[in-house]
Amino acid sequence: MLVYFKVGNFKSIKDPVVINFAATAISEHQESNVFEKGKDDLLKTVLLYGPNAGGKSKILDAFLLYRRLVLNSVLRHSTSRIAVEAFLLNVDTAKQPSLFEAEFIINRRKYRYGFEAYKSHIQKEWLLEVKATTTSSIFLRLEQNFKIDFKTFQNAEGLENKCSENVLFLSAADQWNVPLAKQIYGWFHGTHTIRGLDDLDRNKSSNSRTNRLFESPKYRKAINQMMKHADLGIKSIDVLKEESGDQTVVIDGTRYKLASSGPQDKVIAKHDVYDNAGNVVGEEDFGMDVQESDGTRKFYNMLGAILYAIKNGHLVIIDEIDARFHTLLTKAIIKLFNSEIVKSGAQLFAVCHDASVMDNDLLRRDQIYIVEKDNFSSTKVVNLVEYKSARKETPLAKNYLEGKYGGIPFIENLENFLMNDEE
């Protein structure tokens, strides 16, 4: 479970910002939106709101890069560049490393892991175990100098000499079978990411996680129930595997035969067919990739990650969660995580633009962050619970759209720029 995520000096983020999943001492939705993990009360959902270009997606980008470097750092060769991007609109930060850190709970133990990195090398790296009253270091790294607690980080002896300057020590330790590193690596690997409208790519949908889970009877039943009851007009779903067949290409007048690319998934959505009296007289198969709407395809493709995360207690990160969705469907997805009925340790971390989702009946105030840029074009975040004007009974969406919390665009009257020129 994620406790917090911190990032600094990355893309539009100058000073470190912290997204906190630790619940504050407010009373609303305690039974549904908060779960206990040991002595910690953690939020099931956190949403980022703010204007376009305010930096919401950059915060998610930061977590995705943080995760990707942990998972793939060890695969890079000695001359590979690290994909960090410093805040370039300040003369000092442009020359400083980017910072990434998170605190998370695995098997009832709380860890804090982070690093500072330039494009060329890892400047600092640390793994700490956080206890009730103390914090102990498991390993500390300053460039290529390491201090390691080998009693806790077992099987890591001599590994510091095998770790390149552009590779994370945690990633290297996983490759060399350090038990604790493998546990932490597994936590990062279990995080699911959905990048807004990217999941509408017709070339990706045939290989979606939802298709793979459909092979399991328990997931197949859940997917069908979700699709049927989301008011999409779909009676049921089926996934067929079809041989793509041999293909040919013509080069300089010569025809070449290409080998079969193997079976392809074809998602079929079954719809009722009616007579003029409104009676069901049959059913029609629609191809998901061809005949269904963008919103329907996006919902189907998201379902796999969402259902798997809820059943296994994983973190899901979604950019543009509301894109192509009706407000009520977006709320229904969030309610899957903020549920008193569904017992799960799953968490949702998402960007949202739909102010109607900022609903007192759905969310706690500490589940909403306002993201915007300051006078130096740097991204800042404020938790809604910090506003004195945002009380338990306050109409949050109304106040947000009225600009009482910031984080809204100030758009000039665009009609003025299309006025007929008197000349």
Going edge to edge, which strands form the sheet with 45-49? 192-195, 315-319, 347-351, 45-49, 368-373, 379-383
Within this chain, do residues 295 and 216 fall inside the same structural domain, yes or no? Answer: yes
Shared domain for 41 and 169, answered yes or no, is yes
pLDDT at position 200 is: 53
Judge if 252 and 381 occupy the same domain: no
Boundary (domain end) residue, out of 275, 290, 312:
312
Q: Are residues 61 and 178 in the same domain?
A: yes
Is residue 137 within 8 Å of 150, Cβ to Cβ?
A: no
Mark whether 61 and 47 lie in a shared domain: yes
User: 323-349: string of b/e by CB count within 10 Å (b at 16+)?
Assistant: bbbeeebbbbbbbbbbeeeeebbbbbb
Question: Do 64 and 175 share a structural domain?
Answer: yes
- 323 in the same domain as 305: no
Residue 409 lies in a domain: no
Residue 78 has what pLDDT? 84
168 and 306 housed in the same domain:
no
Please check whether residues 83 and 162 belong to one and the same domain: yes
CATH number at residue 157: 3.40.50
Query: Is 369 found in the same domain as 346?
Result: yes
Low-confidence ranges of the chain (pLDDT < 70): 196-207, 243-263, 420-423
Residue 120 lies in domain: 2-191+315-401
Q: How many whole angstroms separate alpha carbon 242 and alpha carbon 101?
A: 45
Dist CA 158 CA 141 (whole Å): 14
Is position 68 within any domain?
Answer: yes
Among 312, 347, 377, identify where a domain stops: 312
Residue 53 and residue 175 share a domain: yes
Q: Is the same domain home to 295 and 201?
A: yes
CB contact burial 184-216 (16+ within 10 A = b; e otherwise): bbebbeebbbbebeebbeeeebbebbbbebbee
pLDDT of residue 406: 84
Is 376 contained in some domain? yes
pTM above 0.85, yes or no: yes
Look up residue 174 and give its amino acid.
D
417 within a domain of the structure (yes/no):
no
Q: What is the pLDDT of residue 203?
A: 44
Residue 421, in any domain of the structure:
no
Question: Is 406 within the bounds of a domain?
Answer: no
CA dihedral 288, 45, 98, 78 (to 10 degrees): -50
Tokens 């995520």 — which residue? 5
User: Within a domain: residue 382?
Assistant: yes
Torsion sign across C-alpha atoms 381, 387, 390, 392: positive
d(CA 38, CA 1): 11
Closest CA to 361 of 336, 390, 333, 392: 392
Kindly report the number of other CB atoms within 10 A of residue 157's CB atom: 11
Note whether residue 414 is domain-resident. Answer: no
Distances (CA, A) of 119 to 67, 78, 79, 95, 185: 16, 12, 10, 11, 22
Last residue of a domain, one of 312, 344, 379: 312
Count of domains forming the chain: 2
What is the model's pLDDT at position 209?
85
Name the residue type at position 32.
Answer: S
